[in-house]
Chains A and B, each alone.
Chain A
Amino acid sequence: MRTMTLILLASLALGCKGSPKGRVKSGDEGDTVGARTAGAETYNALIEEATRKLLKAEEARFPEGAVRKIAFVGIENRGAEELGDIRDSTNQIIETVIFQAKRYDMIGQRYVDHGLQVNSMRAEDLFLHDGREKFVSVLRAEGQDPDYLLWAVYTTLSTEGDKERQRDYLLTLELIDARSGRLMQKETARVRKAYR
């Protein structure tokens, strides 16, 4: 009994700790699911779904064989989790999906950044006529006249349950006519996650 008590009490003092390990995942293996926040499994799905839906809807509006230029101008984070390096990968995945669609050209991010920097503008300035005009004229001078501006907004919707917490992740893409500022297409993709 006494020995048992000693073991029990002493066990309070000890803990086990594993050493960190890494491995390369095979191509067909699914993404690791983030335990506390969204990760690749969420963002990859959101971006691919929203972009494909958006491009497909817009394709019907212009003639077969024509190619339209898109400038991806910004990502607004209205969600409860920081995006950090997700911003860069969002850009890359969208670029890949647009490239694969074959009906669109994506204007390089460096041109877009230059167009904003030269005029000391923030991305949200492009929603105003003057800002858009200045931006498009800089890109035109570089031979990169955009037909559309693409804007992404991440949002979250959280629900606290008794035993688990659900969070919906939404990505809304807006395709805006670069000249008129008219909203041409808007698509949203959603991924739901539960956390314990």
Chain B
Amino acid sequence: MRAALLLLALAVVGCRSYSDKLAEFRGHYLQGDFEGADAAVDRLIAKETGESVETVASSNGLGVKAGKGDTYLLLLDKAMTQLALGRPEVAIELLRKARDQLDGHESKTAKEFFASVLTDDMARSYAGADYELILVRVMLCLCDLLVHSSQTEGDAYAYALQIGEKQQRIVESPLGEDLGYKPRQEYRRVGIGAYLQGIILEATGARDGAARAYERCLSYEPGLGIAEEAHRRAKEGRYAAPGEGVLHVFYLAGPGPFYTTGQSPPTDLALRIAQIAAALVTDSYVPLMQTEVPVPVLAVHVPGVPQLEVTAYGRKAATETLLDVNMVAGQQLEKMMPLIIARAVIRRAVKATITTASSEAVKSRNRNSTGDAAELGFALANLIWTATERADTRSWSSLPAHIQVARIPLPAGVHAVRLGGEVEADVRITAGRDAYAVVIRPDPGRPGVILVDRLSSPTASGPESLPEIGESKP
């Protein structure tokens, strides 16, 4: 008996949650120590894949098997550190690998969602939270704009379209159809894909297409000032004043969603879903219990993130929140919770059925003290089996809390652009063209990093290839 209790204690202690495993990485990342975070995620990828840390580091995470365990989830974090370290082209490769894996693991039907292993949700292949499936495409689009500096040379437009396409498919997904509860249908749509599509079209002179994209953005994000202004601009066909170009700032601000383990009693809705799902998956009657089950709980560091003031050439623009990642994650988790609880309830019931059936089978063969000992053993086994269950707290841990945007038209030439506080970057503006800057600041109190697209970064092109430099002051 004592041994069993010891075993139980060991089992509980031995189960580190995903957020515990990521603690070191997140510690570095949130402090803006991207080198440290990159090294930490390399170690995690090495452990997950069985490769050496050197192999992971030398291939920038591209030489490993993305589909092994949770590797593809870690590759998302690796992509963020690579981006922050100024390697958006590597980030694109990593994001694409991860995106393809996530798409391959997505649960499209209730049967897929509930047909999980008996241990706990952490033992399932990670299918990605729905907001992550959107965000991976958003990050691909931003990285592509940084690499190609152009709407026509890269794949940014394709990624922008993919955001809308994925969102559509998620919302129209049949998941839950046969259970009478379709959580995805209740999601609020986000406008970031349409906005990105709009700015790309606007810069290529396709003003009608841009106006339609901004209109769509506004239908998802009513009252969003920057989209309203963009819509007016596209309708009137005024991209920028003659001799001027446009700087778009994307501010990846604050720490994004991560999860801890909590407990939840089975709600009436969850039990009703569980009853139907159990019949669907096991094709037999499973007695459900009313005990509490482990569930993921969204932990958010800060409720809001201050705007960033962008100043250049005596002009000012403040960033505006285009996507509140924490809010979207919270809403989606809330809608999915009845399914998550139902799955945990079924698992509990299935485990109890297995151990009871096994115990009875042994007992019927040994009608003596051996049978009693076996019954006790199976009861303990069930206790350990259920006590070690964990909620699925896996997530893309380096996402920002907000994606904020600002647009500022500037005359052609090189400008010192101030991005809040003392942080400054030189940006070359070309008349009639877009320039892109991405600011990554997981801790809004620290400077973070600023990345400028390839052709708009004066240092990257070399002075001999620069066009005539304009005034940098009004």
Contacts and interface: CB of A to CB of B under 8 A. Distances in A.
B350 interface: yes
Interface string A67-87: 000000011111111111000
Interface stretch (A53-61, A102-110, A115-123, A168-176): A115-123
B375 to A, nearest CB: 15
Contact of B357 (A5, A83, A122): A5
Interface of B: 96, 103, 115-119, 140, 144, 149-155, 157-159, 161-162, 165, 168, 172, 204, 281-284, 350, 353-354, 357-358, 360-361, 433, 455, 461, 465-467
Among B140, B149, B155, B283, the most chain A Cβ lie within 10 Å of the Cβ of: B155
Contacts of A6: 354, 357-358
Contacts of B461: 120
Contacts of A118: 465
A180 B96 CA distance: 41
A16 interface: no
Contacts of A117: 465
Contacts of A13: 117-119
Contact of A2 (B153, B157, B360): B360
A12 B158 contact: no
A25 interface: no
A120 B412 CA distance: 14
Given A2-B360, A80-B165, A120-B465, A8 B103 contact: no
A62 to B, nearest CB: 29
Given A9-B118, A120-B466, A122-B455, 8 more contacts: A2-B357, A2-B360, A8-B283, A74-B153, A80-B158, A80-B162, A120-B465, A123-B153
Interface residues of A, number: 31
Most buried by B among A12, A81, A118: A12
A76 B154 CA distance: 7
A82 B136 CA distance: 14
Contact of A12 (B118, B152, B161, B467): B118
Contact of B158 (A2, A83, A160): A83
B433 A83 contact: no
Q: Which of A15, A77, A83 has the most CB of B within 10 A?
A: A77
A5 B353 contact: yes
A12 B465 contact: no
A82 B350 contact: no
Contacts of A120: 455, 461, 465-467
Interface string A86-112: 000000000000000000000000000
A124 interface: yes
A14 to B, nearest CB: 8
Nearest to A8: B282
B396 to A, nearest CB: 20
9 contacts: A8-B282, A8-B284, A9-B353, A12-B118, A13-B119, A74-B152, A74-B153, A83-B158, A123-B153
A21 interface: no
Contacts of B168: 160
A23 interface: no
Kindly list the 8 A-B residue pairs having the minimum CB-CB distance in the complex, ordered from nearest.
A82-B155, A80-B161, A76-B152, A13-B118, A122-B150, A13-B117, A82-B158, A120-B465
Contacts of A119: 465
Contacts of A5: 284, 353, 357
A163 to B, nearest CB: 11
B245 to A, nearest CB: 12
- Point out which of A74, A80, A123 has the most chain B C-beta atoms below 10 A from its C-beta: A80
Given A8-B282, A9-B353, A77-B158, A158 B165 contact: yes
Contacts of A122: 149-150, 152-153, 433, 455
Nearest to A165: B169
A14 B433 CA distance: 55
Contacts of A77: 152, 154-155, 157-158
Contacts of A84: 96, 155
A10 interface: yes
Nearest to A128: B432
Contact of A10 (B149, B284, B354, B433): B354
Given A12-B281, A83-B158, A123 B152 contact: yes
A86 B357 CA distance: 57
Contacts of B455: 120, 122
Interface string A110-148: 000000011110111000000000000000000000000
Nearest to B466: A120
Nearest to B204: A124
B63 to A, nearest CB: 15
A146 B453 CA distance: 30
A2 B155 contact: no
A13 B117 CA distance: 4
Max count, chain B CB within 10 A of own CB: residue among A8, A36, A119, A120: A120
A118 to B, nearest CB: 7
Contacts of B96: 82, 84
Contacts of B165: 80, 158
A80 B168 CA distance: 13
B65 to A, nearest CB: 9
Interface string A36-59: 100000000000000000000000
Contacts of A82: 96, 140, 144, 155, 158-159, 162
